[in-house]
Amino acid sequence: MTTNDFLQVGLYLVVLLLLVKPVGSYMALVFAEAPNRVTRFGSRVERGIYRLCGIRDDEAMGWKRYALAMLLFNVLGVLVVYLLQRMQQWLPLNPQHFAAVSPDSAMNTAISFATNTNWQGYAGESTMSYLTQMTGLAVQNFLSAATGIAVLVAVVRGFSRRSSLSIGNFWVDLTRSTLYVLLPLSLLIALLLVSQGVVQNFKSYVDVPVVQTTSYTETVKDAAGNALKDAAGHDVTKETPVTIQTLPMGPAASQIAIKMLGTNGGGFFNANSAHPYENPTPFSNFIEMLAIFLVPGGLCYMFGVQVGDRRQGWAILATMLVIFIPLTIGLVAAEQAGNPALHGLAVDAHASALQAGGNMEGKETRFGIASSGLFAAITTAASCGAVNAMHDSLTPLGGLVPMWLMQLGEVIFGGVGSGLYGMLAFAVVAVFIAGLMVGRTPEYLGKKIEAYEMKMASLAVLLPCALVVIGTAIAVMVPAGVAGIANPGAHGFSEILYAVSSASNNNGSAFGGLSANTPFWNVLLGICMFLARFPLAIAMLAMAGSLAAKRHVPESAGTLPTHTPLFVTLLACVVIVVGALTFLPALALGPIAESLMSGH
């Protein structure tokens, strides 16, 4: 790694840590029980919304009602996004006259955006109308993120409330997440992105004449799609001159802002944040990377405030960083070392003042190695899934890191809300293991952890693991699954493992060579995304319901302190051991095998 690689990673971490406390304190006010200066500011709009919906904001929901409201609201969102895609050809704001999306792709995309995954089997600029992007996809970017925050806030109430039957009101938590947290930050980020060159308009695509006319050759095909042959048996080819370039337009910045902030990750354009209109400069890239970790980082601090001990929040954040930093350095180092396959050729891949060097396949010049590698680690540690470089073209070990970060359960920052409630499930498992070691009833944050909590936490930890392993097994056994592979050898298996890991942890990034816009893949990944999101969230709400009803146990000599470096180490070990034991065999068949083979 070069000095600048370290500088860029270091600068990012410093700025992020400086923002954790202000953002976290602000969110603590947003979700505080008592009215305060923040919630009073927007109370008019908030009350207006509740009145129109017939919502009583003082209704205290038990965990079952909270979970039901959450599920109904999200399933309704899936249906609306599905219908918008199927009917977009008849609706306004479709300047390129895109046709209806196919049923399986539309269902996959609807589930994908409602589950905060944003797996994309389609290419944005050639599939979705502006109306579908704005009122379907971008709205779900907001609402799936708000759902994640709401569920987290309810789970934290499970720890902070005592002998209570309620874990809050889903409608209020959702509305406040959207109005106070996501909307204002998105507007700010959107304008920062536009200042760097991200497009924001409602124009049709612009055709410009190119400076040099070039041409491309393609084989001529008959009506059945077979290549035509000439008398000598050679393919008939046709040369087409290229005299114009079509520039895509659209309301991109507003959608990209929430795509990053809500850890959604679904690109406005096919190339996602590698596209110069989606991420034009190194500064826009820095803003996008910050936006990914901003809310998940802030929520750790908010958690500390809400359980009445800020050290608890810092301990969770420290655990995330302990895992994140070494893996990031590993990824950047692997990419900076370059691709051995090119070493024999007359290629200069050394880093210097004049070039980034390293493995530049699938990467943009303006980002080079450091800004691409850091982005790849951030987007998969969080369940964002936006990409500014093509992960399929990462070096074998460089590609292993994002894959494993997803497989760890999206708890290293993770999705907004979902990352922290996933980490709290691991924390419950960690105190349980510590309790077994010393033979005491485990407690966490003053609540006794008993059989019911352990069942729910285990479910939350193991469900995504099971989905990845079973989903991958199905895909490699079925011809329709293997048919999607683009690259030969071990890398082909990596493409499948990556796709199922991404969907089953609600990340959404891909080894993009995989042809996943087929009925088989759309259905398999649709099921994985849905099961990874809602049953897991419901399990956590059930745990919260049980915890909220319990009394507070005063700290005693037998209590394991959960804010110490010892606990941070224990928690990090639990996360890593679960992730390593479950996935090492599969990783050995994919990236590790490829790494051993490369260079030979």
Partner 1 sequence: MSKLLRQSFVLLLLMTVITGVLYPLLATGVAQLVFPRQANGSLIVKDGKPVGSALIGQSFTDPKYFWGRPSATTPQANNGASSGGSNLGPTNPALTDAAKQRIAALHAADPGNTAPVPVDLVTASGSGLDPEISPAAAQYQLARVAKARGLSTAQVQALLNEYTRGRQLGVLGESRVNVLQLNLALDALQR
Of 265-273, 301-309, 440-448, 468-476, which segment contacts partner 1 by CB under 8 A?
Answer: 265-273
Within 488-527, the residues that bind partner 1 by CB under 8 A are 488-491, 494, 511-513
Residues 1-20 touching partner 1, rule: CB under 8 A, are 4, 7-8, 11
Site track 32-71 with partner 1 (rule: CB under 8 A), x = hit: -----------------x--xxxx---------x--xx--
Residue 135 burial class via C-beta count within 10 angstroms: exposed 0-12, middle 13-18, buried 19 and up:
middle
Nearest-approach distance from CB 405 to partner 1, in angstroms: 19
DSSP H or E run through 304: helix 282-306
> SS3 for 74?
helix
**Cβ closest to partner 1, residue 123 vs residue 584:** 123
Which one of 20-28, 238-246, 422-430, 463-471 is the stretch in contact with partner 1 (CB under 8 A)?
238-246
Residue from 34, 224, 353, 451 that binds partner 1 (CB under 8 A)? 353
CA distance 118 to 506: 8
C-alpha 307/C-alpha 554 separation (Å) is 14
Enumerate residues 370-399 that contact partner 1 by CB under 8 A. 371-372, 387-390, 392-396
Between 189 and 329, name the residue whose CB sits nearer to partner 1. Answer: 189
User: Which residues from 561-590 bind partner 1, rule CB under 8 A?
Assistant: none
Closest C-alpha to 139, from 70, 76, 90, 45: 76
Q: Which of 23, 174, 406, 460 binds partner 1 (CB under 8 A)?
A: 174
Which residue lies nearer to partner 1 by CB, 163 or 365?
365
Farthest-apart Cα atoms in the chain, separation: 90
One residue of 187, 480, 581, 584 binding partner 1 per CB under 8 A: 187
Q: Which of residues 241-260 bind partner 1 (CB under 8 A)?
A: 242, 245-249, 251, 253-255, 257-258
DSSP-assigned letter for residue 345:
S
Q: How far apart are CA 535 and CA 542, in angstroms?
A: 10
Using the contact rule CB under 8 A, the part of the chain among 100-108, 199-207, 292-300, 529-537 near partner 1 is 199-207
Question: Which region among 22-30, 204-212, 301-309, 446-454 touches partner 1 (by CB under 8 A)?
Answer: 204-212
Q: Give least dist CB 236 to partner 1, A.
A: 16
Query: Rounded to the nearest whole angstrom, what is the least distance from the CB of residue 192 to partner 1 in the complex?
Result: 10
Contact 384, 507 (CB under 8 A): yes
Beta-bridge mates of residue 246: 207
CA distances from 95 to 128, 243, 338, 397, 404 (A): 10, 22, 42, 43, 41
Tokens representing 581 are 């034991």
Q: Among 121, 136, 304, 415, which residue sits at the site for partner 1 (rule: CB under 8 A)? A: 136
Per CB under 8 A, does 355 bind partner 1?
yes
- DSSP letters, 473-534, are HHHHHSHHHHTT--S-THHHHHHHHHHHHHHHTT-----TTS---SHHHHHHHHHHHHHHHH
CB 125 within 8 A of CB 157: no
Span near partner 1 by CB under 8 A; candidates 100-108, 202-210, 539-547, 571-579: 202-210
